[in-house]
Amino acid sequence: MLKDVILFTVIFGSAGAAVLFPGVGVPFQPYLLYFMMTLLFLSFLRIDFQALLDTSWPSVVQLGTLTAVKLIILPATLYWVTSLVYPDYAVPVLLLSGISTGVVAPFVANILAADVASVVRMVVVTSLIVPISLPCLVKLLAGVDVSIPLDGMMRMLSLVIFVPMGMVVVMKRFIPGVLERINTRQFPISLGLFALINLGVFSQYSHFFFDRPGQIGVSLAIAYMLSGVYYLTGFLVAPSRKPAERLAAGVSLALMNNVLVIVFSSRFFGPLSPTLAALYMFPFFTMIATLKLITNRTDWFSLRNADNR
């Protein structure tokens, strides 16, 4: 709980500081890409890439179906719906919905007693595919209305994801002791990187928050609605599976690399996209707490019914 409070304070405190005092964040703007790569490097330290070795047919089908929903079907559907209801948010919703499963998702799955292995597989597979899938999806759906450098987006996503992932794999093989020492300091380093990223991103759009303050409330409301849709879709994708697997599907869809969207969209798109991705931090964490309460209550009722029988 204390770490969550510290994390919220750092994330939104640094974003607020960048909005109120944009000059503070200007020196960090050229280095956002490297901050994001370092953050992903730290996150990949705890990912067990051996989870991909499960090649049983049910596992492959489940992984393929959920990956298609995560990277293609759900973002395309939400883009189409949003373009009809609130066109200004169509591209921001597409970017947030179509990014890879978050590297913190397996640890949240463990907290919620979900199927951790299936979430790890989603993290690895979607991370490998998203440098191609997301730019192509954005170009296909929004290319008519937005000037989008497809090659530039692919290169950026590939660099940000594959370089940290490759470094972790190589270092685990040859110098695991160094990774263990880095891992013990992961939380404070990650906090610092979150702060630097926010300072660099939001200092670029300080004027936006003062010119259109109503958009903040709208973005927050949309973020919560999207979170509900992500979880519900995950539960519906695997209706006949065990509760732990259905919960894992929801976690895989709802907990994405939204910080990557902040950095990525700030380079290629307007202020709405990084704003929505940043405000998704609220449902990102509060929905975890809500689901934890629900699962605990469900377990309690299950145990009580078992005792009565």
pTM over 0.85: no
What's the pLDDT tens digit per position in 279-297? 898 888 778 777 877 766 5
What's the pLDDT tens digit per position in 18-67? 989 999 999 998 888 888 888 888 878 877 766 666 667 777 888 999 99
Short-list 200, 282, 295, 201, CA closest to 247: 295
- Give the DSSP per-residue string, 89-127: GHHHHHHHHHSPBPTTHHHHHHHTT--HHHHHHHHHHHH
Query: In the chain, what are the domain boundaries?
Result: 2-298
Rounded to an integer, what distance in angstroms lies between the CA atom of residue 247 and that of residue 232?
9
- Amino acid 23: pLDDT: 93
SS3 268: helix
- Fold observed for domain 2-298: Na+/H+ antiporter like fold (1.20.1530)
- Amino acid 200: pLDDT: 87
- Amino acid 82: pLDDT: 97
The pair of structure tokens assigned to 213 is 């303050």
Q: Which residues contact 276 (CB under 8 A, 6 or more apart)?
A: 89, 92, 93, 96, 219, 222, 223
Rounded to an integer, what distance in angstroms lies between the CA atom of residue 139 and that of residue 147?
9
Rounded to an integer, what distance in angstroms lies between the CA atom of residue 103 and that of residue 39?
10
Alpha carbon 184 to its chain's center: 23
Residue 164 host element (H or E): helix 150-174
Instruction: Tell me which residues of the chain have a pLDDT lower than 70.
Output: 1, 4, 49-55, 144-150, 240, 295-309
